[in-house]
Structure 1
């Protein structure tokens, strides 16, 4: 968005952060509209955007917050009020060597905390003795928006997944938590806040995460009511209540069929696990809810009701906690504009393919074959759906300059095998693969001294060296029979760099688990954003007559 467009909406941080009210007013030109605190420009700008605005709102309460902020600008005082509502925290508070790729893809970590540290949250569930406890991450979702903003993927990571949690430091207290290799991922939030969970997910997936956003129980209720309810569906009557075999439960009680849910019932829906049989069922129900919210918002003409817009903006800014680099209304607005062009049919909701934890059958670990396929698609910005415009066939690799002789291509081989659910490296793995390359004539292949945990194998070449470096990297891929899709340019490497990921821990032949062009596994439970037919089955013990 241009600087002028930002000023016209009254959302210019430089104006609001450095200039008093009377100077900001004086900077505007033209006679003010009667009763318009910003000279009427926000109303006129909103009017010109109304048709686009109806398409702008997208899938979840968190993203709704971003986009509402962009339409509710009403001058300095209101901007400052919304700014005061927003709570901020450090983006990353844990050890992670994952670097941002040179593409323009956008990755956001969405967290739902189980905090009961306020009266409002205690009223929604939980014992009083839990007040003061550090919250855990009940919901963990990684949102990937493609570099061209044509498609979006949302990957849920079950809260009971066992993963390594890196060394983290709580930015509020300065307390340091040592790294652990056998922990449940939702505990990462207690080790240093959302920034520790971000580092944990980065290490697990190999995906650089630009921002995080977090919402608690009370925030979900506020947002559900502000939206006006969301339609869900259950196949049988459901009551998620305590049973002789299973204590607890969300309290969700609904009759079979399609119906709108609001407030506390929406929270119960998003938290229900037992009646939907498992964490995987809960993730499926959450995906249904988010997709349904997209359709609900698109059916509403919210941009013509300024009062409702303000109510939505109030609810959104009070409900959210965000990483500090996006912690102003203007920056949240800009982020929302990054998301507005993605149509429902190009949104895919899915779950990390799981395997049963051998140490506890109530927990999960990432499926060693299928999870890397999901991470590879995110890392390489490959869409999960087939609804995009058909692209012309890729040019053959030979269309660029020929690769240099193998002996003249320096290759750094990095051990990334610690990037799996155990966090345990295969010692000497980089040396083994460097030896394989040497056997193919790449005598300049050497193992790197520093490891870089990565869920997926990848080959990076220096962006500054252009087509020649790409041809050299493709020659390395061909020698090891690696998929061409694993080859990407990077501004962080000085020579062709092969990271041997956790998907290639043994053997001389690559199994292909991280091929970004591989088919999405059925265990991911992918749901397209335009699918209106889904209806949750209810586990038999939680059905009622």
Structure 2
């Protein structure tokens, strides 16, 4: 790997730490539904009420000083815009039968070296002043019922399509491009990283959080240390074949890491052998940290609670809609309530990039399956109660068409191209012919520039054409949840996506089931206390 590859590093674990210790949506662990509240044991409810009371007393103290301290904590929190990318076409997951929706939080570990402390911790003084890279990126998915969670990493060297982004501070416009995903943080901040994830996954992301080197150390110390494990002695240092290294040096076995050692664990790549294995080590750390927090009752120790609140609010930068102590605390409460055996950590299935052997690209079939499970809120574990339905999403209601098919103008566009696959010639014409045979005699193909859509979609510009768009989808066998309103079209438009590369009937897909984890995901369950890292031979001592 190139020297720049050493810059990756730290933080999703600590970002989640902050969410698990101090962090808000106001719905509580069950997502706010009364049905969920009835299921919880009375002792758990009393515990949460007691925790809230102690937190209030610890933070607020007296009316004067307490209020000032609460404002101090709020002032500690740095905030930014949720997205700085083009207007997203991503749809929120439909509420479940109880009206609850999943929650998605993007955690970003920044290699920012724009302070003396970060340079000291992160090395490479030559990079001081450079735009930070988002070398650690992980999506936390909390299920609608708040009973399961997924932690999904994307390797920092994954080549992706990056949308146009606008820096909210300077108003600089970054045109759309293809590059590795860690560069997105330097193209308009975390909001551009979020927009890129949404473009890649079609998963709506509610919030983001970022943390830098200094924040990692601060949070690790506030937690009191996290248990990690290596199967062999490890020393991640420069070698004749590879410069750089985190400096992590441990003997074989289990260790509790904090301060700089925690940062070294999260930054280590060479000693694990690859970026994918670094993601595994980060998942182990995060799972261990969550188990540690679950075993600690910090709410009865006001001094400890203050330390955690101070560390969390100083360590994080968050999207502005969650930028208060109250909202962060509420969010952390929801995350902490998920049982460890219902938390699953995975890495996006990937393959070598054909354009650059040092990069990777999504393994499309398996990665798409993973994104579908997140969109449909399908648990990655099998430890929950059996469900009688294959999806938590409500079916989209059918509308009455306003025109006869023979009078409706329909445009068909070829969107089968992607970052990893060339467009299939003639797809627009083939589907246009199929529509004509189904009675849509005014169907025509789009002759403008080729589009790119991972999933086939039918778009319409105004509410009066919704029923007509649904009729077109039905004629082609396209699910109604792939019909959407868009100001980018002037009439009903079918965009044939990369998921429909052959044939004239839309391919039926079996809905994923709970625990049906895509191949190549390197899954780890949050209750697995036996997980231990193997050390790449050149870094054993």
TM range (shorter): 0.7 to 0.9
**Aligned partners of 2:177, 2:398: CA distance in 1, in Å?**
46
Alignment partner, residue 76 of structure 1:
67
**Could you say which residue in structure 2 is the equivalent of 1:148?**
145
**In 1, Cα distance between the equivalents of 2:223 and 2:364?**
39
Distance change (3 Å), C-alpha of 1:510 and 1:516: farther
Residue pair 2:77, 2:317 contacting (<8 A) in 1 also: yes
User: Contact 2:457/2:484 (CA < 8 Å) preserved in 1?
Assistant: no
Secondary structure of the 1:535 match is coil
Distance 1:109 1:401, change over 3 A: closer
Change (3 A) 1:220 1:450: same
Question: How far 1:256 moved relative to its partner?
Answer: 0.9
CA distance 1:122–1:517, shift in 2 (3 Å): same
**Contact kept in structure 2, 1:137 and 1:159, CA below 8 Å:** yes
Is the 8 Å Cα contact of residues 50 and 303 (structure 1) preserved in structure 2? no
* Residue 536 of structure 2 is aligned to residue 539 of structure 1: yes
For 1:166 and 1:154, locate their aligned partners in 2 and report how far apart those are by CA, in whole Å. 24
Report whether the alignment pairs 1:379 with 2:375.
yes
Deviation (angstroms), 1:412: 6.9
Deviates more, 1:186-195 or 1:425-434: 425-434
Residue equivalent to 1:343: 339
Give the CA RMSD over aligned residues.
Answer: 4.1
Does the alignment pair 1:94 with 2:85? Answer: yes
> Aligned ranges for residues 166-181 of structure 1 at < 5 Å?
166-181=163-178
**Please, which moves more after superposition, 190-199 or 520-529?**
520-529
Are the structure 2 counterparts of residues 538 and 240 from structure 1 closer, same or farther at C-alpha, using a change threshold of 3 Å? same
2:415 counterpart residue number:
417
Could you say which residue in structure 1 is the equivalent of 2:156? 159
Q: How far did 1:288 drift?
A: 0.6
Residue correspondence of structure 1 range 303-452 to structure 2 within 5 A: 303-392=299-388, 417=415, 420-421=418-419, 429-430=427-428, 432-440=430-438
Contact 1:106 1:147 in 2 (8 A): yes
Give the aligned partner of residue 530 of structure 1.
527
SS in 2 for 1:236: coil
Give the alignment partner of residue 206 of structure 1, picking from 202, 211, 227: 202
* Residue 109 (structure 2) aligned to one of 109, 112, 129: 112
SS in 2 for 1:220: helix
Alignment correspondent of 2:188: 192
Distance 1:49 1:154, change over 3 A: same
Give the drift of 1:129: 2.5
**Residues 503 and 514 in structure 1, CA contact (< 8 A), matched pair in contact too:** no
Alignment of 1:12-161 (within 5 A): 51-52=47-48, 73-74=59-60, 75-101=66-92, 102-103=94-95, 104-161=101-158
Summarize the Cα distance change of 1:50–1:115 in structure 2 as closer, same or farther, 3 Å threshold: farther
> Matched residues in 2 for 1:12 and 1:197: separation?
21
Distance 1:263 1:382, change over 3 A: same
> Is the contact made by 1:54 and 1:301 (CA closer than 8 Å) also made in structure 2?
no
Quickly say closer, same or farther: Cα 1:471–1:412, change in 2 above 3 A: closer
Q: Secondary structure at the match of 1:504?
A: coil
Distance 1:352 1:140 in 2: 11
Pick closer, same or farther for the CA change 1:86–1:530 going to 2, 3 Å.
Answer: same
Q: Aligned residue for 2:33? A: none
TM-score, normalisation: structure 2: 0.77
Q: Equivalents in 1 of 2:409, 2:149: separation in Å? A: 34
Q: 2:3 aligns to what? A: none
- How far is the alpha carbon of 1:414 from its aligned partner? 7.1
SS at match of 2:481: strand
CA distance in 1, matches of 2:412, 2:343: 34
TM-score when scaled to structure 1? 0.76
